[in-house]
């Protein structure tokens, strides 16, 4: 006979370290959160048991969580429109936030965040999200397809949950596990996660900044289309250009840009941060941050909220303000759709983008056979074949992950040796993963789906490799278009060249963060941003006379 009570068994279902964190989190809940779990006998038995166990564990860990269990075909199940097993509803009398499928792995993180949001209610929603969604008049049903192995999926799910909490009268948010809802994933042509569908009218792939997500939810179309429509409308009704005189314009709202904004303002400079997407840069899309001092473990979007809130105490951050042109002169002119800024100096914190192959078929099959995250999308190709392009740590880690999923994996690398750590190289060798050296993928081939990849060797020989998916892991490229317009010198690897004080080769033009290459970490980006702002202050003090300094806005 077991000496453990049922309560102790359920509590032990959660590892001790996680249990301590969750108990502390649940103790801070402002109000009781209800969990409703719907299951049925037979179908998805293991998924049902896991879901019941984790929800029962949460229930016994806190008196702030109330658990209710129902059969899918019960009267309550019919009233709640339950369509699959298992299904988990969060505070269903207030919100339509639900999990279709077992909240395992990374989806467990999303479940915890959903509970946390439901406990806080509207107080957890940012002013910008409330402002964006306030005009919404039509209902929105968000179906966010996720995978237990996808580290980016919880961030996109949280975007959806925040929308549902902000406008519970109009918005429903469903997190759908592709693992135990394969038919639904196939129906929505899900080939990469996170995959977000809204009202069966608009589809978005990947994790997005919160404000971008909300705008796309409002307009039911990609943000790029919304911006282009607004740009066209302004051209049809031209207005006089608005000029703004300012000390420093910071282009980029990632950690470097936000840090620079704080230090510039504290130094007495007038400044503004222009960000063409949402604040945070790569950090906003980072699932987990474990190396930023002061936070042993924090999700990227949470760190972005903290940094953004701090920066806004000092300076304005204009999101979705894309810089269309820059002109160097006695005053550097930075042009956006709404205004032209005449600045003493400009700081470039424009970051990086994932490096793409740039070959035929890549765009066509993106999200459906071409992927940049093997951890996210590997499960879709179990039992199939995969090509991994790259030779660094990410590429080899991806290849090992795919191999362990039972996928026949081949690495294509343009060199004759890997850049990755030796332990990864040894693992690849031990696993017997095929390697095609000194070669590049020049085309992704297929009709309705990926069928093969064209590969060319440096000696000119060409081959066709059968595959179901191509995973690209070849690093990042620096966003240097504006730097090149200003005549800034670049390094051989394409990143902006700076000195130890973050000056570029052009006077009064500074750069910081990932766009400068080197050690691309959050902590180095914030330090570089601070250094750039202080350097700008010193330069402006030296370069501009006392009269101008005392009349900053009369130039």
Nearest partner of 36 among 14, 51, 22, judged by Cα: 51
To the query of whether residue 271 is one of the catalytic residues in this protein, the response is no
To the query of whether residue 373 is one of the catalytic residues in this protein, the response is yes
Catalytic-labelled residue, pool 55, 197, 373, 468: 373
> Rounded to 5 degrees, what angle do the CA atoms 511, 512, 515 make?
85
Note whether 179 and 147 are within 8 A (CB). yes
Catalytic-labelled residue, pool 197, 247, 376, 398: 376
> Rounded to 5 degrees, what angle do the CA atoms 241, 242, 247 make?
130
- Within 8 A by CB and 6+ apart from 127, the residues are none
To the query of whether residue 55 is one of the catalytic residues in this protein, the response is no
Q: What is the gyration radius of the CA atoms in the chain, in angstroms?
A: 26
Which one-letter DSSP state was computed for residue 356? Answer: P
Q: Read off the tokens for 99.
A: 């999990």
The alpha carbon of 380 is separated from its chain's Cα centroid by a whole number of angstroms, namely 21
Alpha-carbon distances of 324 from 277, 302, 337, rounded to whole Å: 14, 30, 7
DSSP string, 89-154: EESTTT-EEEEES---THHHHHHHHHHHHHHHGGGGS-HHHHHHHTT--S-EEEEEEE-TT-TTHH
For 276-407, strand residue ranges (E) read 316-319, 325-327, 332-335, 339-348, 352-354, 370-371, 385-389
Nearest partner of 535 among 507, 502, 511, judged by Cα: 502
Question: 204 - beta bridge partners?
Answer: 196
Note whether 249 and 532 are within 8 A (CB). no
Catalytic-labelled residue, pool 96, 197, 377, 468: 377
How buried is residue 167: exposed, middle or buried, by Cβ count under 10 Å (0-12/13-18/19+)? buried
For residue 391, the tally of other CB atoms under 10 A from its CB is 24
CA distance 55 to 67: 7
Nearest partner of 158 among 312, 319, 299, 367, judged by Cα: 299
Question: 247 - beta bridge partners?
Answer: none
Pairing of strands 450-457, 325-327: unpaired
Catalytic site residues? Answer: 373, 376-377
């Amino acid at each position: 006979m077991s000496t453990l009570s049922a309560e102790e068994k359920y509590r032990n279902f959660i590892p001790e370290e996680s249990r301590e964190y969750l108990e502390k989190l649940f103790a801070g809940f402002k109000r009781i959160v209800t969990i409703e779990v719907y299951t049925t006998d037979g179908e998805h038995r293991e998924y049902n048991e896991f879901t019941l166990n984790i929800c029962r564990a949460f229930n016994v860990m806190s008196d702030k969580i109330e658990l209710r269990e129902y059969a899918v075909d019960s009267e309550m199940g019919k009233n709640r429109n339950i369509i699959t097993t298992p299904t988990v509803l969060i505070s269903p009398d207030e919100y339509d936030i639900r999990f279709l499928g077992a909240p395992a792995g990374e989806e467990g993180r999303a479940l915890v965040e959903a509970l946390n949001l439901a406990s806080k209610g509207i107080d957890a929603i940012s002013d910008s999200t409330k402002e964006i969604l306030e005009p919404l008049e039509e209902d929105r049903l968000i179906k966010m397809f996720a995978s237990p192995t996808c580290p980016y999926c919880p961030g996109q799910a949280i975007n959806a949950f925040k929308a549902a909490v902000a406008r519970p009268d109009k918005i429903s948010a469903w997190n759908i596990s592709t693992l135990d809802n394969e038919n639904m994933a196939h129906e929505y042509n899900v080939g990469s996660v996170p995959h977000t569908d809204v009202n069966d009218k608009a589809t978005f792939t990947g994790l997005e900044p919160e404000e971008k997500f909300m705008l796309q939810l409002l307009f039911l179309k990609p943000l790029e289309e919304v911006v282009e429509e607004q740009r066209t409308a302004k051209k049809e009704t031209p207005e006089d250009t608005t000029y703004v005189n300012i000390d420093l314009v910071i282009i980029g709202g990632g950690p470097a840009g936000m840090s620079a904004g704080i230090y510039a303002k504290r130094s007495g400079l007038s400044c503004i941060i222009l960000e063409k997407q949402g604040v945070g840069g790569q950090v906003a899309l980072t699932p987990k941050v474990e190396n930023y001092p002061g936070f042993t473990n924090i999700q990227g979007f949470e760190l972005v909220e903290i940094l953004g809130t701090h920066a806004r105490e000092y300076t304005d951050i204009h999101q979705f303000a894309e810089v269309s042109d820059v002109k160097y002169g006695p005053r550097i002119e930075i042009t956006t759709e709404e205004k032209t800024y005449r600045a003493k100096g400009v700081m470039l914190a424009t970051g990086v983008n994932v490096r793409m192959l740039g070959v035929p078929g890549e765009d066509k099959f993106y999200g459906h056979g071409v992927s940049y995250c093997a951890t996210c999308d590997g499960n879709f190709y179990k039992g199939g074949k995969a090509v991994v392009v790259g030779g660094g740590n990410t590429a080899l880690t991806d290849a090992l992950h795919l191999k362990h999923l039972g996928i026949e994996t081949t690495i294509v690398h343009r060199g004759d040796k890997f850049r990755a750590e030796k332990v990864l190289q040894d693992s690849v060798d031990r696993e017997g993963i095929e390697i095609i050296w000194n070669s590049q993928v020049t085309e992704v081939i297929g009709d309705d789906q990926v069928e093969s990849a064209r590969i060319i060797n440096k000696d000119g020989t060409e081959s066709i490799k059968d595959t179901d998916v191509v995973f690209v892991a070849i690093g990042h490229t620096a966003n240097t278009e504006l730097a090149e317009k200003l005549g800034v010198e670049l390094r051989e690897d394409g990143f902006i060249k700076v000195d130890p004080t973050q000056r570029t080769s052009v006077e009064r033009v500074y750069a910081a963060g990932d766009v400068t290459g080197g050690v691309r970490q959050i902590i180095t980006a914030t330090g570089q941003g601070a250094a750039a702002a202080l350097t700008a202050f010193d330069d402006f003090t030296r370069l501009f006379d006392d009269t101008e300094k005392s009349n900053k806005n009369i130039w």
